Protein backbone atom coordinates (compact mmCIF):
# COMPACT_ATOMS: atom_id res chain seq x y z
CA UNK A 1 0.00 0.00 0.00
CA UNK A 2 1.53 3.38 -1.00
CA UNK A 3 1.74 6.04 1.62
CA UNK A 4 1.41 9.82 1.45
CA UNK A 5 4.82 11.41 1.24
CA UNK A 6 3.64 14.27 3.38
CA UNK A 7 1.68 12.86 6.28
CA UNK A 8 2.61 9.19 5.90
CA UNK A 9 -0.99 8.08 5.78
CA UNK A 10 -1.46 5.01 3.61
CA UNK A 11 -3.89 5.52 0.81
CA UNK A 12 -5.01 3.63 -2.29
CA UNK A 13 -4.98 6.76 -4.33
CA UNK A 14 -2.18 9.30 -4.16
CA UNK A 15 -2.21 12.52 -6.13
CA UNK A 16 0.91 14.18 -7.44
CA UNK A 17 0.77 17.55 -5.84
CA UNK A 18 3.08 20.50 -5.81
CA UNK A 19 3.64 21.40 -2.21
CA UNK A 20 6.03 24.22 -1.35
CA UNK A 21 7.85 23.84 -4.61
CA UNK A 22 8.30 20.08 -4.38
CA UNK A 23 6.18 17.57 -6.22
CA UNK A 24 5.02 14.93 -3.77
CA UNK A 25 2.71 11.98 -3.96
CA UNK A 26 0.12 13.03 -1.44
CA UNK A 27 -3.20 11.78 -0.16
CA UNK A 28 -6.30 13.71 -1.09
CA UNK A 29 -6.20 15.76 2.06
CA UNK A 30 -2.57 16.81 1.67
CA UNK A 31 -3.05 17.50 -2.00
CA UNK A 32 -5.66 20.07 -1.03
CA UNK A 33 -3.16 21.64 1.31
CA UNK A 34 -0.69 21.82 -1.52
CA UNK A 35 -3.00 24.01 -3.50
CA UNK A 36 -3.43 26.27 -0.52
CA UNK A 37 0.31 26.67 -0.20
CA UNK A 38 0.59 27.58 -3.84
CA UNK A 39 -1.91 30.43 -3.88
CA UNK A 40 -0.25 32.97 -1.60
CA UNK A 41 2.82 32.84 -3.84
CA UNK A 42 0.86 34.53 -6.58
CA UNK A 43 0.41 37.57 -4.37
CA UNK A 44 3.53 39.04 -5.92
CA UNK A 45 0.97 40.78 -8.11
CA UNK A 46 0.65 43.45 -5.44
CA UNK A 47 3.98 44.69 -6.74
CA UNK A 48 2.21 46.11 -9.75
CA UNK A 49 1.06 48.93 -7.50
CA UNK A 50 4.48 50.49 -7.58
CA UNK A 51 4.54 50.07 -11.34
CA UNK A 52 1.35 52.10 -11.59
CA UNK A 53 3.09 54.93 -9.83
CA UNK A 54 5.72 54.91 -12.52
CA UNK A 55 3.25 55.01 -15.35
CA UNK A 56 1.43 57.83 -13.63
CA UNK A 57 4.64 59.78 -13.68
CA UNK A 58 4.99 59.21 -17.40
CA UNK A 59 1.53 60.65 -17.92
CA UNK A 60 2.80 63.94 -16.61
CA UNK A 61 4.95 64.20 -19.67
CA UNK A 62 3.76 66.81 -22.09
CA UNK A 63 4.33 67.37 -25.75
CA UNK A 64 6.89 70.12 -26.06
CA UNK A 65 5.31 73.28 -27.51
CA UNK A 66 7.77 73.54 -30.39
CA UNK A 67 7.49 69.86 -31.36
CA UNK A 68 6.87 70.72 -35.02
CA UNK A 69 10.07 72.69 -35.29
CA UNK A 70 12.01 70.02 -33.44
CA UNK A 71 10.82 67.31 -35.84
CA UNK A 72 11.42 69.44 -38.92
CA UNK A 73 14.91 70.44 -37.88
CA UNK A 74 15.82 66.90 -36.92
CA UNK A 75 14.56 65.65 -40.27
CA UNK A 76 16.43 68.33 -42.21
CA UNK A 77 19.54 67.60 -40.19
CA UNK A 78 19.40 64.02 -41.41
CA UNK A 79 18.59 65.22 -44.92
CA UNK A 80 15.48 63.13 -45.13
CA UNK A 81 12.39 63.98 -47.12
CA UNK A 82 8.93 63.97 -45.61
CA UNK A 83 8.08 61.05 -47.87
CA UNK A 84 10.99 59.01 -46.55
CA UNK A 85 10.11 59.74 -42.98
CA UNK A 86 6.43 59.00 -43.54
CA UNK A 87 7.34 55.67 -45.07
CA UNK A 88 9.64 54.80 -42.22
CA UNK A 89 7.02 55.71 -39.65
CA UNK A 90 4.29 53.98 -41.62
CA UNK A 91 2.29 57.18 -41.61
CA UNK A 92 0.84 59.37 -44.33
CA UNK A 93 2.98 62.21 -45.65
CA UNK A 94 0.21 64.61 -44.67
CA UNK A 95 0.49 63.44 -41.08
CA UNK A 96 4.21 64.17 -40.98
CA UNK A 97 3.67 67.54 -42.63
CA UNK A 98 0.98 68.52 -40.14
CA UNK A 99 3.19 67.50 -37.25
CA UNK A 100 6.00 69.69 -38.59
CA UNK A 101 3.58 72.57 -39.01
CA UNK A 102 2.43 72.08 -35.46
CA UNK A 103 -1.14 71.54 -36.52
CA UNK A 104 -1.23 67.87 -35.52
CA UNK A 105 -0.12 66.64 -32.16
CA UNK A 106 1.36 63.15 -32.42
CA UNK A 107 0.08 60.76 -29.78
CA UNK A 108 2.62 59.08 -27.56
CA UNK A 109 2.90 56.02 -29.78
CA UNK A 110 3.70 58.03 -32.87
CA UNK A 111 5.81 60.51 -30.94
CA UNK A 112 8.00 57.74 -29.54
CA UNK A 113 8.54 56.38 -33.06
CA UNK A 114 9.66 59.83 -34.18
CA UNK A 115 11.79 60.22 -31.07
CA UNK A 116 13.60 56.97 -31.81
CA UNK A 117 13.95 57.80 -35.48
CA UNK A 118 15.64 61.13 -34.90
CA UNK A 119 16.98 60.65 -31.39
CA UNK A 120 15.00 63.61 -30.13
CA UNK A 121 12.53 64.11 -27.31
CA UNK A 122 9.00 65.23 -28.02
CA UNK A 123 7.30 64.29 -24.78
CA UNK A 124 9.10 65.65 -21.78
CA UNK A 125 8.26 66.22 -18.16
CA UNK A 126 7.88 69.94 -17.47
CA UNK A 127 11.05 69.92 -15.34
CA UNK A 128 13.13 68.31 -18.08
CA UNK A 129 11.63 70.72 -20.56
CA UNK A 130 12.77 73.71 -18.52
CA UNK A 131 16.29 72.39 -18.46
CA UNK A 132 16.49 71.87 -22.20
CA UNK A 133 15.03 75.29 -22.86
CA UNK A 134 17.62 77.12 -20.81
CA UNK A 135 20.33 74.62 -21.71
CA UNK A 136 20.12 75.61 -25.34
CA UNK A 137 20.41 73.49 -28.41
CA UNK A 138 19.60 69.87 -27.71
CA UNK A 139 20.23 68.83 -31.29
CA UNK A 140 23.91 69.48 -31.03
CA UNK A 141 24.30 66.94 -28.27
CA UNK A 142 26.08 63.76 -29.26
CA UNK A 143 24.19 60.51 -29.49
CA UNK A 144 25.69 59.44 -26.18
CA UNK A 145 24.64 62.62 -24.45
CA UNK A 146 21.08 62.34 -25.62
CA UNK A 147 20.90 58.75 -24.47
CA UNK A 148 22.11 59.84 -21.07
CA UNK A 149 19.45 62.52 -20.82
CA UNK A 150 16.79 59.99 -21.71
CA UNK A 151 17.87 57.69 -18.91
ZN1 LIG B 1 -1.30 13.05 3.46
The average confidence (pLDDT) of the chain is 79
> In the chain, how many domains are there?
2
Is there a single domain that holds both residue 139 and residue 80? Answer: yes
What is the pLDDT, as a whole number, of residue 125? 82
The reported pTM is 0.46
Q: Which residues, chain by chain, have CB under 5 Å from ion ligand 1? A: 4, 6-7, 9, 27, 30
Instruction: Determine contact, residues 4/26, Cβ cutoff 8 Å.
Output: yes
Q: What is the mean pLDDT of residues 111-133?
A: 80
Question: Has residue 130 got a pLDDT over 60?
Answer: no
Same-domain status, 80 and 109: yes
Determine, yes or no, domain membership for 53. Answer: no
3-state secondary structure of 95: helix
For residue 109, being part of any structural domain is answered with: yes
In a domain, 51, yes or no: no
State in Å: Cα 7 to ligand 1 middle: 4
Q: Which tens digits make up the pLDDT trace of 29-84?
A: 888 877 644 445 555 555 555 555 554 555 578 999 999 999 999 999 999 999 99
Residue 28 belongs to domain spanning: 1-46
**Alpha-helical runs (H) found in 60-125:** 67-77, 82-89, 93-101, 108-118
Q: Which residue has the higher pLDDT, 66 or 143?
A: 66
Examine the domain organization and report whether 41 and 84 are in the same domain.
no
pLDDT of residue 31: 86
* CATH code where residue 101 lies: 1.10.260.40
Amino acid sequence: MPSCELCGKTSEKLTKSKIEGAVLKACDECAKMGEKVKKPRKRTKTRSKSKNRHSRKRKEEVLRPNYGKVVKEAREDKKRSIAEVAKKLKEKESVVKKIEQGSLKPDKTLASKIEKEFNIELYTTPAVNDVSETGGDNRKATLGDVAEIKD
